[in-house]
Amino acid sequence: MIKEGIFKRILLAVRDWQKAARASLKNFFWAAVNVIFPAMCVICGAVGECVCVSCAARVPNGPLFCCPVCMDPAPEFGFCSLDACRRAAEAFPLKGVVALGSNDVPEIRRLVYALKYEGAREAADFFGARMAPMISHLPEDFFTADSSMLLTPVIVVPVPLHRRRLVERDFNQAELIAIALFDALVLARSARLPPVAPEILRRIRQTERQAHLTGEARRKNLSGAFTVSERSASVVNGARIILVDDVATTGTTLRECACVLRAAGALNVAAIVVGRG
């Protein structure tokens, strides 16, 4: 028994060393790559980093509050003043949307495109760092139970991709942004560190790309496309969910995700996105 225990400890030590060695080699490899092929700003092409200082200054810091029903700008977190939106508020599954800025801003549009279609993953780190402070703009009651005012779990959930599209792209841009957002909160030593849980939501049906669809076509396209995984049902029940995505145009994707999460027992669902529109 003693020998077995020693053997297990040695095996674990070797595995830990292998992991550390792999990480060091990986860091060395990318450091060498960056020396040979310096990073370039994906917006203007300047050598130095993924987003140069000049271009970064033109990217809005938010918060841009959006009505979750119509996605028009709102004066604060929640719903706009339109009667139809106010009437829908009580039963609406999504309670508010916060964006960095409008997707009409050239720098935001270019960075999102570079992330999704050119594999510029560093753009996700840039977005995550910019979006992390926006959690402080969620209302205080989002973090507490409505009746008892006790603290309840808060979880960051990226909008999922269908597995086929995930294979095509090799990554989910919303998940990368969500992880970067969490890392930024850790660096800032934020008191609120909601864990990132990409496994909670699943996209069970491949849908058409939303960009060329409008209104009712978007709703039909996404109806029944999402589900909460069986293993995550107990985690969602009683939790507050912060959805993360890159761009919200009509809010249909966010609303469909929120519907599924609320049906699984989530107390409240809000969304933080890069661009609106």
pLDDT tens-place string over residues 44-63: 988 888 899 999 999 999 89
Residue 150 reports pLDDT greater than 60: no
Which residues does 274 contact at the CB level (< 8 Å), separation at least 6?
Answer: 99, 100, 103, 108, 111, 112, 127, 131, 177, 245, 246, 247
Which residues does 45 contact at the CB level (< 8 Å), separation at least 6?
Answer: none
CB 242 within 8 A of CB 157: yes
How much is the pLDDT for 149? 46
Structural domains in the chain, CATH included, are: 60-276 (3.40.50)
Q: What does the pLDDT average to over 130-153?
A: 75
Q: What are phi and psi of 10, to 5 degrees?
A: -65, -45
Residue 179 reports pLDDT greater than 70: yes
E strands, 22-96, are 64-66
pLDDT tens-place string over residues 52-108: 999 999 999 989 999 999 999 999 999 999 999 999 998 999 999 999 999 999 999
37 vs 206, residue with greater confidence: 206
E strands, the chain, are 64-66, 97-102, 154-158, 201-203, 226-228, 240-248, 268-276
Instruction: Provide the sign of the torsion angle of the four alpha carbons 206, 260, 256, 117, taken in this order.
Output: negative
Q: What are phi and psi of 248, to 5 degrees?
A: -120, 120
| Secondary structure (3-state) at 122 | helix
| Secondary structure (3-state) at 209 | coil
Confidence grade of residue 140 (pLDDT, cut at 50, 70, 90) = confident
Number of Cα atoms under 13 Å in the Cβ half of residue 7: 4
Residue 14 reports pLDDT greater than 80: no
44 vs 222, residue with greater confidence: 44
Q: Which residue has the tokens 């934020």?
A: 190
Cα 190 from Cα 22, distance rounded (Å) = 30
Residue 171 reports pLDDT greater than 80: yes
Q: Which residue, among 243, 249, 236, has the nearest Cα to 271 in the 3D structure?
A: 243
Residue 130 reports pLDDT greater than 90: yes
How much is the pLDDT for 205? 76
pTM of the predicted protein model: 0.80
Residue 30 reports pLDDT greater than 80: no
